[in-house]
Structures are given as C-alpha cells and as structure tokens.
Structure 1
Amino acid sequence: MGRGHDKLKRLMARGTEFLGCDYAILGGAMSWISERNLVSAISNAGGFGVIACGAMPPELLDKEIAATKAMTDKPFGVNLITMHPDLDDLIDICAKHDVSHVVLAGGLPSGKAIDRIKQHGAKLIAFAPALALAKKLKRSGVDALVVEGMEAGGHIGPVSTSVLAQEILPHVAEEMPVFVAGGIGRGEAIAAYLEMGAVGVQLGTRFVCATECIAHENFKKAFLRGNARDAVPSVQIDPRLPVIPVRALKNKETEAFAAKQREVADLLDKGELEMAEAQLQIEHYWAGALKRAVIDGDVESGSIMAGQSVGMVKREEPVADIIAELVEEAAAALTMRAEQPA
C-alpha cells in the first residue's frame, strides 16, 4: 500500500469504523435493485450494502433481510421510507434481525421513528438536504447524515452535490459522520469530498451494471448507452401537488407521469383524495413504473431511474471490480496531490 492508500484509509477511518466495513462506500438504496444479491455483493467486497425497502410490506422485508444474511456475514443496512404506512412494523423487523444501521429517507423522520430505531440499538442515518435540517437531525439523535445532491438518480432535491457539501460539511462534519452522494462516478470525486470533511460516500448508479445486480438486460443496456444529459428530472404539473422530482433516463414514461399527476390532482379537486393518500399514490406509481423497467425490461413505458453519473458506467462487471477501481482512483488522486509542490 502506498501513500495514497494510507491517506485514503485515514480519511475514511471514521466512516469505516461507523459502518464496520473496509471502505466507507455506501450502496445507494434503489427500489427493486438493492436487494439481497447486490447488497450482499457490496458488503462482501468491503463496501456497505443497503437494502431498499421501498414499498415492501413487512413480511417481504423480513424475507429479504434473512436472505441477505445468508449471503454475507458482513454488516449491511436497510433503507426505510418515512411515509410508509407500516413504518413501525418495518423498524421492528429490522430489530428482529439485529440490522446494525437503518437509513430513513423520503422526508424528515418523526421523533417517534427515531426513538423506536435507537431503542433497538441500531445506528440511524438520515438525509440532510439543507444545513438547518442537518443541525435539526443531529439534535433529534440521528447518528450520521447523507448529503445527497440533485445529480442523483431517483427522488432528488433542488441543490447540487458540490453546493450542499460546501454548505453542510464545514459546520457539521466534526460533530457527526457525513456521507456525500449524488453524481459520484469516479474515485477522484470521492477523494475530494473526503478532503472536504466527509467520512465516506454513497453511490447507486455505478452499481446498476454490476454482474450481481438483478436488473434486466434491457435496463443495463440503457445505462451503458446513456449519458449525463439523458438523465433528466420529472416535471411537476400541478403546484398544489407537492411531487418530489425523480431523475431518470428520458423515454415515454416521462410523459406518462405528467398524465398520472393530472389524474391525482383531479381527484384532489373533487375531494375524493386526501393529500397524504395522493402522495402515496404517486409513490406506488413510481414503484410500479420502476419495476416495469428493472424487472420486466420494459424501458419504454417503465422508469429508468439513473443519476447523472450514468455516462461513467461503461461496462458490466463484478461489484468487487467497481469498488477496487474507485479505491485505486481515489488513492491515486490523493498521491498526486501529496506530491505536488506547495
């Protein structure tokens, strides 16, 4: 191991200690994709796999965690959506299996959910889309944060990764572990965010074309063909319907979602739907559209959720090779910076 690898290890030390793995590289939780095969492969390769619970009912999550444990003896986490109607039961399933880390996504977690997770002894990770929310989450008892920029695939916020990192890291990084996510496709970017104070990173898009990933061949081919400009956010049709934008590769589905929003907004107008139920309908819609693309291979009417780093996905290869390449690139970048004259 050279100087770059030594420095990388030092910069990731808080992250690897927090996660209990070799490299502080979290697998982004992608519905239908981040399941037992990919999650166990990431953890077995020294990273930290995270199961995407998404819209799963409790009994399905129960089976998925058990199956993942059968494929790896390394730690992994579970990502839960805060608006899931069975959130309490899902937290209890995680506790039953002694899941070491729970990630809460999809909105600000309630104090009740935070307490329930902490009482079971799991470490809690949450998403911080702004500095004020990062500080609030810390006060609420969250153990670590993910700062995810709008370059990411799937549900996104309005601010870029580089801006969020600059806004949040200088004020929070010393107090708690912070992972950076969104648009990261190479090790040089990992090195840069670690030097800014992050303890690690989260990547999703780079792992979609892993050999171990169960995504349909058509889905993977769309990633291999795609570039940054193809990964676009969905458009909000009705301002009264607070739809979180979703970044995906352009196809017919982009127009179909606009029609779905109009349908849900019409039901809201007629008083046939409450706002919470409307949002839940949108979530279920996305889950179905994503399944059509990921599982069935329908990349025309399904949703091909992808981050802007999709252009850096060049081939199908094992997870271990992806992580090894990222680590080598990060170490080389750190070596080069150390050798440059002051």
Structure 2
Amino acid sequence: MQSQSKLSHLMKRGTDLLGSETAIMCGAMSWVSERNLVSAISNAGGFGVIACGAMTPDLLDTEIAETKKLTSKPFGVNLITMHPDLMALIAVCGKHEVTHVVLAGGLPPKGSLEAIKATGAKVICFAPALSLAKKFLRSGVDAIVIEGMEAGGHIGPVSTSVLAQEILPELAKEVPIFVAGGIARGSAIAGYLEMGASGVQLGTRFVCAHESIAHPNFKKAFIRGNARDAITSVQVDARLPVIPVRALKNKGTEEFTKKQIEVAKLLDAGEIEMGEAQLQIEHFWAGALRKAVIDGDVENGSVMAGQSVGMVKAEESVAEIVKSLTDEAEAALAR
C-alpha cells in the first residue's frame, strides 16, 4: 500500500491537472487515437487524447461527440499548430467543452493560446528543448510534454533521457511535465517520476490494445518488430524543413524520400510556397499512415512506431496495459 501511495503521490500534480486516476497519457496517433482507444484509455484510469491530425472541423466535431458517448471521463484533443483551420478547430473544442487541448508541431500561431484559454480548457504543449519549454512557461501553458527521439511518428533530435535531465531539474517545480518517447515499462515511469516528472505519455504500447482500431496487419507488424526496425526518415533537402518521422522500415519509407525530392523540385521551380510544400509532406504522411493503419498495407504504408516497439509482445486490453504499467511502477518504487 505504501508503494501505491508513493506512486499516486508522485503522480498527484499530473492527475490533478488531467482529472484522471493515473497520470498516463496516450500519445495522439493519427488514425489510431480515435473514439474507441481514447475512451477506453480514459475509462481505464489513464488519459486519452484524440489525434485531430488533418481532420476538418466537422470531422473533429463528430469525433468528440462520439467519444463523449463512450466515456464520461476527461480526455484531450491534440491539434497540429500548422493546421490551416486551427482557430476553427479550437472553436469546436470549446463548443464541446473539451477540458484539455494539446498543441503539437512547433510554436502556436499568435492568438491560439488565448483562444484555447478562453474556452476554459487547459493548454499542454510539446517542448523539444529547454529554451522552448521556458518560452511556453512565459506564455502561460498549463503543462509541458517533453518527447525524445525514441518516440514514433514526428520526432525531435534529442533522446528522452537527455531531455529529462536537462528540463526536469530546471522546470519541474514550476509546471507539470510529462515525459514521452521510448517508454513501455512501469519501471521507466517510476524513474522519470522520481526525477520530477508529473506523469508520462505512451503511444506505441497502446497500438496493439484490443480496443485499438488499427488493422490486424498493423498490430502484427508491431508484435514482430524490434527497436532496430523503427528508423527515422531521411531529409533530402536542407531547404525543406521536414520534421523526421520514426516508422518501421518498409517500401513506404523509401516512397517518402521520393516524395521529398518531388516537392523540393516544385519548390525550386517556384511552383509552390514553403507553407504549401510542408502541407504536401504532412498530407503524404496522413495518407501513408491511413494506408497502413486502416487498410493494413504495412509494406507500402507508413508504420509509425517508437523504438519501444520491441517490448510490445501481444495484443491485450487497455485496462491490462494500464494495470501492468502501474503495477510495475509501484514495484519499482517499493524497491
């Protein structure tokens, strides 16, 4: 019991902020973090987050409404800062009284933080560097996620363990910080909590949950995969600032390199602007990810996975995943 109270004590700032039983957030994974998985995670005591990705305001409107039918527990919505309809998406979150909005993909455009705050929601931002974390603090964000390069999907250049050592000692007392990237076991959660984190975020571990709508082929690729298979995309043109993506190596990763060359040529010819170039890249990923997650084409689609994929050994329920993570964390803290 003592170790259990220690876990809840270390997670208290995180659970107070999220309104959940445990400060375990699920990373927003396009096509995967939708109503079924999000509600299951919140119902199991964690904190689910809808991945808005490239959704239109109407699609997000429906997704939030459907998620609310499946859970009465709090959940969040992840919005991409470069989305052309960002303000309309924030308004949709406000209409549904979404309690937490997570912003990803760079600095939020002018007025967006204020617009979210005006709805009464808490704002959580990703900070891939200490300087950016400090900037967010000055902007008045309610919490920060520090995500290392071990994560799946879009990643920064620094590892989780280094970011945690840089940022937690400096800022953990000032704002709740969630650590993400490469976490798949409760012992790692315990370690980051003892370093000052208020909670953690996991994505890869939840992909193979029974409640995840990911295609059976996608789940099989995760169960077969190991850490070395989850590689980062290559940037072919320095002028095209493509955020690297970590995914399982397949034909789709090669297609992405070709797509970058094609977009760089259009940029050279002056046929498109930089903003449009970046959006084309984003849309490529959204389409390639859908091909793998929904259609099950794990050869040509994008199988985004973190390096912790090697620790995903079987399909199990969300409740089992959350319980094993908290049990392992409690055991580690008791030691």
**So what's the TM-score if we normalise by structure 1?**
0.98
Which position in structure 1 is the counterpart of 2:280? Answer: 281
CA-to-partner distance for each residue in 1:42-86, whole Å, 9 max, x for gaps?
000000000000000000000000000000000000000000000
**In structure 1, what is the Cα distance between the partners aligned to 2:119 and 2:66?**
21
Q: Secondary structure at the match of 1:145?
A: strand
Alignment partner of 1:331 is 2:313: no
**In structure 2, what is the Cα distance between the partners aligned to 1:141 and 1:4?**
33
CA-to-partner distance for each residue in 1:234-260, whole Å, 9 max, x for gaps?
000111111000000000011100100
**In structure 2, what is the Cα distance between the partners aligned to 1:280 and 1:110?**
16
Which position in structure 2 is the counterpart of 1:339? Answer: none
Q: Spell out the pairing of 1:77-116 with structure 2 (5 A cutoff).
A: 77-116=76-115
Which position in structure 2 is the counterpart of 1:127? Answer: 126
**In structure 2, what is the Cα distance between the partners aligned to 1:211 and 1:189?**
24
**In structure 2, what is the Cα distance between the partners aligned to 1:183 and 1:24?**
17
CA-to-partner distance for each residue in 1:140-192, whole Å, 9 max, x for gaps?
11110000000000000000000000000111100010000000000000000
Which position in structure 1 is the counterpart of 2:214? Answer: 215
Give how far 1:3 is off.
Answer: 1.9
**In structure 2, what is the Cα distance between the partners aligned to 1:291 and 1:87?**
22
| Partner AA of 1:309 in structure 2 | S
**In structure 2, what is the Cα distance between the partners aligned to 1:244 and 1:133?**
16
**In structure 1, what is the Cα distance between the partners aligned to 2:179 and 2:194?**
12
**In structure 2, what is the Cα distance between the partners aligned to 1:43 and 1:118?**
22
**In structure 1, what is the Cα distance between the partners aligned to 2:112 and 2:248?**
33
| Partner AA of 1:283 in structure 2 | E
Q: Secondary structure at the match of 1:305?
A: coil
Q: Spell out the pairing of 1:12-31 with structure 2 (5 A cutoff).
A: 12-31=11-30
Q: Spell out the pairing of 1:172-187 with structure 2 (5 A cutoff).
A: 172-187=171-186
**In structure 1, what is the Cα distance between the partners aligned to 2:162 and 2:210?**
33
Alignment partner of 1:268 is 2:264: no
**In structure 1, what is the Cα distance between the partners aligned to 2:238 and 2:305?**
25
Q: Secondary structure at the match of 2:106?
A: coil
Give how far 1:37 is off.
Answer: 0.1
Q: Spell out the pairing of 1:1-342 with structure 2 (5 A cutoff).
A: 2-336=1-335
Q: Secondary structure at the match of 1:232?
A: strand
| Partner AA of 1:197 in structure 2 | G
Q: Secondary structure at the match of 1:248?
A: strand
After the TM superposition, list the runs of 4 or more consecutive aligned residues in structure 1 that deviate by more than 4 angstroms: none
**So what's the TM-score if we normalise by structure 2?**
1.00
**In structure 1, what is the Cα distance between the partners aligned to 2:84 and 2:334?**
49
Give how far 1:111 is off.
Answer: 3.5
**In structure 1, what is the Cα distance between the partners aligned to 2:303 and 2:118?**
37
Q: Is the 8 A contact 1:8 1:334 kept in 2?
A: yes
Aligned length: 335
Question: CA RMSD for the aligned pairs?
Answer: 0.5
Q: Secondary structure at the match of 2:20?
A: coil
Where in structure 2 are there 5+ consecutive unaligned residues? none
| Partner AA of 1:270 in structure 2 | A
Q: Secondary structure at the match of 1:7?
A: helix
| Partner AA of 2:28 in structure 1 | A
**In structure 1, what is the Cα distance between the partners aligned to 2:126 and 2:25?**
13
**In structure 1, what is the Cα distance between the partners aligned to 2:110 and 2:268?**
32
The percentage of aligned residue pairs carrying the same residue is 74
**In structure 1, what is the Cα distance between the partners aligned to 2:245 and 2:223?**
20
**In structure 2, what is the Cα distance between the partners aligned to 1:209 and 1:100?**
27
Q: Is the 8 A contact 1:12 1:24 kept in 2?
A: yes
| Partner AA of 2:328 in structure 1 | E
Q: Is the 8 A contact 1:111 1:140 kept in 2?
A: no
**In structure 1, what is the Cα distance between the partners aligned to 2:254 and 2:69?**
41
**In structure 2, what is the Cα distance between the partners aligned to 1:315 and 1:111?**
44
Give how far 1:108 is off.
Answer: 1.1
